[in-house]
């Protein structure tokens, strides 16, 4: 008999075993304690069949930044899986429903996640809110075009000193970047425990850390020619000076043939700073963070809008009047006729400013009931910059 139980009522090792089965790997003696700490750090719901965990959904509280520098509470959904032996029984829907209801009870108007597969979460009301570019740079050809005099300095740090230096810089970055999510203390501890990379911080002229990068180096020689590959795992900057200085460090590493990252923002200016733009190749553009508006009125009213206006949005049968102006925005239920009709997933994409409503109208994901309403929505929902999430959670 299948039972739906809260996380605290099940054995963490049973959850870990289901995670291993679902994602096809084994935790070793180093990573297993980290996985147990992961389970202890999250709330969640498990499906249990005769004592064995066969499905699981977890979440952690976080903040995600909406356009206008507006952090809002969210449920950071993670560790979603259903055993191959229990598919097509509606288990995931039950677990996600419990998770969403709990998030609303906790005052979290949004749920966000990073998807392992792209075809799963639309049916649960999630839409792609951010994107990330996978890029590869030919290190020898990737010189920056213009001279740069760094007002601060870059330096290597290790261990606890790395965490102390980077936390504040990340906070400065994430409160100004649409799509960025807060990083809880266990996230930082996992970053150190699971990897042995190099950490480089940048300090401004006053000695304040305003950026950092984390990279690993895979040593390789091509018959006497250095061809090591550097993977940039994290690059966070609160100032343009920090961003340029850290990229100069990465592109100045000796014995390196290729510099790669899977987390470059779609609107990152790096390629425009290169003397040869072909030194940077975009290998793929992937979805990043997905978002589901659980409380539509609160989510719409929590962000700022570059252009004022009024729209009536019908979201899965419920209508909301959105009034946006210089002083902020307000959204409330209404009985007025809808200008646009859309699902929660489409609203999750539009909310962060990375997708134009007119594009979703053309894709038949949004229905325009009043001519020109989507163009008005384009102007209103545009963000001050492209949304980006560079945190796996």
Would you say 381 and 353 are in contact if contact means Cβ atoms under 8 Å apart? Answer: yes
pLDDT attached to residue 194: 62
Distances (CA, A) of 212 to 105, 134, 239, 286: 36, 19, 11, 23
Q: Is 101 exposed, middle or buried (0-12, 13-18, 19+ CB in 10 A)?
A: exposed
d(C-alpha 299, C-alpha 282), whole Å: 33
- State pLDDT tens for residues 78-118: 999 999 999 999 999 999 999 999 999 999 999 999 999 99
Tell me what pLDDT residue 275 has: 96
**Residue 183, pLDDT score:** 96
Residue range 289-296: average pLDDT? Answer: 98
Give residue-wise pLDDT tens across range 112-161: 999 999 999 999 999 999 999 999 999 999 999 999 999 999 999 987 77
- Alpha carbon distance 174, 63 (integer Å): 10
Mean pLDDT of the chain: 95
Residues in the chain: 393
Mean pLDDT on 280-299: 97
Average pLDDT over residues 58-67: 97
CA pseudo-torsion sign 261, 263, 266, 270: negative
Q: List the domain boundaries for the chain.
A: 2-120, 133-287, 295-381
Same CATH topology for 2-120 and 133-287? Answer: yes
Q: What is the CATH number of domain 2-120?
A: 3.40.630.30
User: Sorting pLDDT into bands at 50, 70 and 90, what band is 327?
Assistant: confident
| CATH class as words, domain 295-381 | alpha beta
Determine what percent of the chain is predicted with pLDDT higher than 90: 88
Condensed to tens digits (0 to 9), the pLDDT of residues 174-213 reads: 999 999 999 998 888 888 776 668 999 999 999 999 999 9
CA nearest to 391, candidates 40, 51, 64: 64
3-class SS of residue 213? strand
Q: Is the distance from CB of 142 to CB of 177 less than 8 angstroms?
A: no
What's the whole-number mean pLDDT along residues 211-226?
A: 91
Looking at domain 133-287, its CATH superfamily turns out to be Gcn5-related N-acetyltransferase (GNAT) (3.40.630.30)
Catalytic residue positions, numbered: 121, 393
């Amino acid at each position: 008999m299948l039972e739906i139980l809260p996380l605290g009522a099940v054995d963490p090792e049973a959850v870990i075993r289901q995670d291993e089965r679902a994602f096809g790997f084994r935790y070793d003696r180093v990573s297993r304690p980290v996985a147990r700490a992961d389970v202890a750090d999250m709330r969640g719901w498990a499906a249990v069949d005769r004592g064995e965990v066969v499905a699981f959904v977890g979440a952690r509280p976080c903040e995600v930044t909406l356009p206008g520098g507006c952090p809002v509470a969210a449920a950071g959904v993670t560790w979603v899986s259903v055993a191959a032996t229990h598919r097509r029984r509606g288990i995931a829907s039950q677990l996600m429903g419990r998770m969403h209801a709990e998030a609303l009870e906790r005052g979290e108007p949004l749920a966000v996640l990073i998807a392992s597969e792209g075809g799963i979460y639309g049916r649960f009301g999630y839409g792609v809110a951010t994107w990330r570019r996978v890029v590869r740079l030919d290190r020898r050809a990737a010189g920056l075009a213009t001279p740069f005099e760094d007002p601060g300095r870059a330096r290597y740090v290790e261990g606890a000193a790395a965490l102390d230096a980077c936390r504040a810089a990340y906070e400065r970055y994430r409160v100004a970047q649409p799509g960025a999510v807060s990083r809880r203390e266990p996230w930082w501890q996992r970053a150190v425990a699971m990897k042995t990379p190099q950490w480089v911080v940048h300090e401004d002229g006053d000695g304040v850390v305003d950026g950092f990068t984390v990279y690993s180096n895979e040593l390789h020689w091509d018959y006497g020619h250095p061809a090591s590959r550097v993977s940039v795992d994290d690059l966070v900057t609160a100032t343009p000076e920090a961003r340029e200085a850290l990229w100069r460090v990465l592109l100045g590493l000796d014995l390196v043939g290729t510099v790669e990252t899977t987390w470059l923002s779609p609107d990152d200016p790096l390629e425009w700073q290169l003397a040869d733009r072909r030194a940077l190749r975009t290998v793929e553009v992937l979805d990043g963070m997905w978002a589901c508006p659980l409380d539509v009125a609160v989510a719409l009213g929590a962000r700022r809008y570059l252009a004022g206006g009024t729209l009536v949005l019908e979201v899965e049968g419920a209508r909301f009047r959105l009034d946006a102006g210089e002083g902020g925005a307000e959204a409330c239920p209404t009985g007025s006729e809808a200008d646009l009709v859309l699902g929660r997933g489409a609203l999750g994409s539009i909310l962060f400013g990375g997708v134009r409503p007119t594009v979703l109208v053309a894709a038949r994901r949004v229905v325009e009931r009043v001519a020109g309403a989507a163009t008005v929505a384009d102007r209103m929902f545009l963000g001050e910059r492209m949304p980006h999430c560079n945190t796996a959670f």
